[in-house]
Amino acid sequence: MLKLGLIDSGPTAAPDWQAAADRLADVTIVDADAADAVLVAGVDAANQATDVGRHVLLVPGSLGSSGEAAELAAPDGIVVMLAATGRFQPSIQEVQAANSNGSLGPLGLLRIHRWLPGGDPVGISCLADQLDLANWLFGTLPSEVYAVRRGESGGYAHVHLGFPGDGMALVDVATTLPDGDDYYSLSLIGGDGSVYADDHHNMHLLYAGGQPEAVRGGEGVSGLVNLLGEFAAAVSEGRVADPGATAAVEALRVAEAAERSIEAGAPLRLNASGDGYELG
């Protein structure tokens, strides 16, 4: 039984983590003092936890840069996993299942729309959450990165990626929606088939006068259940969890390249050693 303490539950409410754990026989939520694994935010908190032998689930968006992510310590026998909720959503799991079993053929095009309320600037960590999905689905880092930003507060960013071979991706993140629900859409086009995971397809209708209101058929806590299942399995099997620190570093590296592209107004290319991006 994995005893998980919620030191910082991040953007996901603690009751949702509890509800997810309730659905798993091998995970339970406990006070942090009694935990052998913790959910934390930021590299310092993560390293403090691993120092005392605790496994770590790291809140997505809590790493400020690829350099910071590279400082994540993962001593032997300790699991450090990025709580990348996107990868574990049932819809995205279906997408990756079709991709990884070869049904789609060679990947050609990924499109992601991630629209949120709130008005915050779209920062590197916010972009990295979606860029991690692109890296994961294509199974490699993009070779080209071009990006643009709009909005007075920087509440919109669009990233255009090229992958080795002829793959390509468009990812846009907006925080300019009014208060209310967010919107998510991911489509993946391969040489032999395609997958569409789109909130637009999953809307119910509420008639209460005037135009009907769309009510999203949500995915509940299934994504958290999947995530905790992978974390618990990695701990139990003594293996590296996926996504781990490497995936976090890579996603942030692409997000940083996007920021540099926005400043330069030009695309960046993966360097020869494959560990950074350069203009030109």
Pairing of strands 55-58, 80-82: parallel
Q: Determine, following the binding rule CB under 8 A, whether residue 174 of this chain makes contact with another protein.
A: yes
Size of the site for another protein (CB under 8 A): 40
Tell me how far apart the alpha carbons of residues 99 and 106 are, in angstroms, rounded to a whole number: 9
Q: Determine, following the binding rule CB under 8 A, whether residue 259 of this chain makes contact with another protein.
A: no
Cβ-based nearer residue to another protein, 15 or 106: 106
What angle is formed at CA 241 by the lines to CA 225 and CA 189, rounded to 5 degrees?
75
Task: Supply 231's token pair.
Answer: 């974390």
Tell me how far apart the alpha carbons of residues 133 and 241 are, in angstroms, rounded to a whole number: 16
CB 2 within 8 A of CB 30: no
In this chain, which of 193, 217, 218, 274 binds another protein, going by CB under 8 A? Answer: 193
Q: Determine, following the binding rule CB under 8 A, whether residue 53 of this chain makes contact with another protein.
A: no
Distances from the Cα of 118 to the Cα of 115, 135, 154, 180, 182, angstroms: 10, 27, 12, 9, 10
Which residue type occupies 75?
P
**E-only strand ranges, the chain:** 2-6, 27-30, 37-40, 55-58, 80-82, 107-117, 144-150, 156-162, 168-177, 183-190, 194-198, 203-206, 213-216, 268-270, 277-279
**E-only strand ranges, 7-99:** 27-30, 37-40, 55-58, 80-82
In this chain, which of 106, 164, 220, 238 binds another protein, going by CB under 8 A? Answer: 106
Which residues from 118-147 bind another protein, rule CB under 8 A? 144, 146
Q: At its nearest, how many Å lie between another protein and the CB of residue 185?
A: 7
Cβ-based nearer residue to another protein, 53 or 191: 191
In this chain, which of 183, 202, 230, 240 binds another protein, going by CB under 8 A? Answer: 183
Which span (14-22, 154-162, 230-238, 247-255) binds another protein, by CB under 8 A?
154-162
In this chain, which of 93, 194, 222, 246 binds another protein, going by CB under 8 A? Answer: 194
Which span (63-71, 82-90, 189-197, 234-242) binds another protein, by CB under 8 A?
189-197
Q: Which residues bind to another protein, rule: CB under 8 A?
A: 106, 108-109, 111, 113, 115, 144, 146, 148, 150-151, 156, 158, 160, 162, 166-170, 172, 174, 176-178, 183, 185, 187, 189, 191-194, 196, 199-200, 265-267, 269
